A and B are shown apart, each in its own frame.
Chain A
């Protein structure tokens, strides 16, 4: 084992773990960032989606040896752009207003997928949004309100 250093939500982190330990377990158990969820453990559901150097990845499929020196962003890091400390960012606010979160277990991963879509310049076209979040399963909403919320943010309709 050797120390693995990386940035999580802007803060430096150093963990001494086996290289094949999952990023998901390091986030949840070693760093206490339980906002990232496990739904299947095999990259099918997207509940553990995080951003790794800005790319959307399933944290259950990422071994820590691939995280050394890189930048990780989780749902806990989204609200750093909120207007008030501990508040919601524009995407979280849109999800709340549109009713895009029900049981909430897919929501952190869904938000990260939406963030990646918007950061890549994605617009309000519903079909493009559906493509962008196709790796993230939701069993509650039927996706309609998630697509609507992301489209509203892409169109600048949510302050």
Chain B
């Protein structure tokens, strides 16, 4: 790994002193990871001692299950329990049993906890009733004896034919007509993406435990404890202290455990309340695949005006997202999608129209990238097609258009600092030897074409040797993409949420971080002690992380939007600075490290609660969509090398160079881990991850049919990290989680084009779609797969 630090802005943040001894790649030191602290909870995870939700034992607990619709849309007329069966040994919960509101809502109040009799079933896996039993066998037998009486209603599956709009935005600046009028070339394109499943390896899981005070505690796999807390208060009619949420070790989230755990927590709690004992709701893979949120399918249309020299002069973009049956977070996903849809490029005349509508499939929701991967696939592929038409290198057209300092985005945001688009592009092109490899691939393609036309033309001995050597019947391709990702929440999100993070010097003389942000593999538990220790001038081992339990930790906002290190980390650094100042002031200004033990003995605990304050100079108008859509952006470039089988059109992704600007690298190994993992999710999105639908039912509803990349499908990855710090955060960090997810898929599609000469415009690029694209592409018959 290489970390490259960009020149800092005038208002550059001071680098906090991390507890690090930086070693070269490949050098190990006992107890350290390349000089940095090892993953905090690593030993527990590596020995099997870490307790995930399904590992927790609650004596006397029953097992719960959800009875779901099997129709995409219907009126629920009755729920019938087979009268020949003994129901006395189990509990059944329906909408009538809900003590509070029958709503589980994120933005709009449209989704019921359970469909009431007389209500409308809106998707195939909609929860209608709940059943709990003392053992799994009873549960399995009895669930088959609950019958739903329904009256079918006509479903809608095409988001463009739906008449129910969840959200709609129009963004733009300049004068579109003038832009198109001056353009030398206008190119149109339509791009489509389908569902993608987060596919955390630990399924959604929640255990509800009734409390003596009439309250309820849930232990579960989740990203956002206070989302679950709010949902429990509302549906179970509990006060703030009666509802308690405790995060178990969480086996991956990627957005799939952002809003969805709320409904499972309420379901488990309803059953636990009725049977008066703990209830385990542990989804199996099939249920997790059919019922939980997916990445929004989308249709994106571009009409772009460009000059002969590659300058973009007009962009007219339409984005349609399929929200599924309920609103969930769709308006926010769409908003991010709309704001990113023009790509990281300067263009004076832009119109972006975006809408998301309701259809009769399970609700779509948060997934790493949050609307940006869909639109950036479209934009990058479209730009590559424009470059091809202009006879320009994909790298060159990006160099000519990528944002630089002081450029203005379509919302009128002036990029005053922390702009690294050109830098990540340059590094990716250099590290991958992009231009030379691309020229070599094109020569090989020309040679294949010559080989196919027997006796025509001339070839050197070397060319003939190459034609007949190497792996037979494959073509190599290299592809490039560039992306931006708005750091943290969109618009005024952070201001509305007003997150709190706390740092405490305990009376035992330890330092403790209290945050509602969760560890789900990304490294929260490891980087927070590092950040706080750096400010206090002590070693990270002296800093503890409080367990994530709403009885103890404040609401630091949801663990989403790559905001934890940037926003909550920033709050913890500010809290640590205040703690240090307060303690040192009590001891004649002596360093914290020398006096904190004495201070704890003399003064007891000192706790600092730090609340989010708006970043200086960052303003956004939610009504007009003008202003600073994000406080800063992260920038990423990705170069992918593929081999395409010329007989079967199967794609193997061989090598990736990923270059990501994250503002500040807090822990290089964890940061690389985010880039590598996000890149492979993007490659899966581009190549194999697909959900086919039959009357609104997912056909790929098991892990045998919904495929994700294995180690054999994964490329060799080289990660380069760039630091262009954001001055609004005390440490300069901009987040890393989502950035790599935005850029991988279009790079794969570009590489496939480089190999076989066809533009695939719908993800994933299955062999069938590649063949179809070749058939449609009459313009390049010389590069056809035989």
Contact = CB atoms under 8 A, between A and B. Distances in A.
Contacts, number: 179
Nearest to A103: B521
B203 A144 contact: no
A87 to B, nearest CB: 8
A42 interface: yes
A23 interface: no
Interface residue tally of chain A, by bracket?
35 or more
Among B33, B41, B48: residue with most chain A CB under 10 A: B48
Interface string B712-727: 1010110000000000
B49 interface: yes
Contact of B201 (A74, A75, A99, A103): A103
Contact of B521 (A39, A102, A158): A102
B704 A76 contact: no
B263 interface: no
Counting chain A CB atoms within 10 Å of each CB, the highest count among B44, B250, B253, B285 belongs to B285
A134 interface: yes
Nearest to B253: A103
Given A42-B285, A147-B711, A99 B669 contact: yes
A131 B714 CA distance: 11
A136 B317 CA distance: 41
Given A96-B42, A102-B673, A34 B714 contact: no
Contacts of B676: 141-145
A40 B703 contact: yes
Contacts of A158: 28
Contacts of B46: 75, 88, 92, 95-96, 101, 104, 107, 111
Contacts of B52: 37, 105
B711 A134 contact: yes
Interface residues of B, number: 60
Which of B28, B34, B680, B710 has the most chain A CB atoms closer than 10 A to its own CB?
B710
A105 B55 CA distance: 11
A96 B202 contact: no
B504 interface: no
Interface in B517-563: 520-523
B121 to A, nearest CB: 27
Contact of A105 (B42, B202, B679): B202
B202 A37 contact: yes
A104 B202 CA distance: 9
A38 B669 CA distance: 27
A159 to B, nearest CB: 8
B251 A104 contact: yes
A140 B256 CA distance: 13
A21 to B, nearest CB: 11
A35 B47 contact: yes
A96 B47 CA distance: 11
The interface centre, meaning the residue of B44, B49, B57, B250 with most chain A CB atoms within 10 A of its CB, is: B49
Interface in B769-785: none
Closest 3 CB pairs of A and B: A35-B48, A103-B521, A105-B251
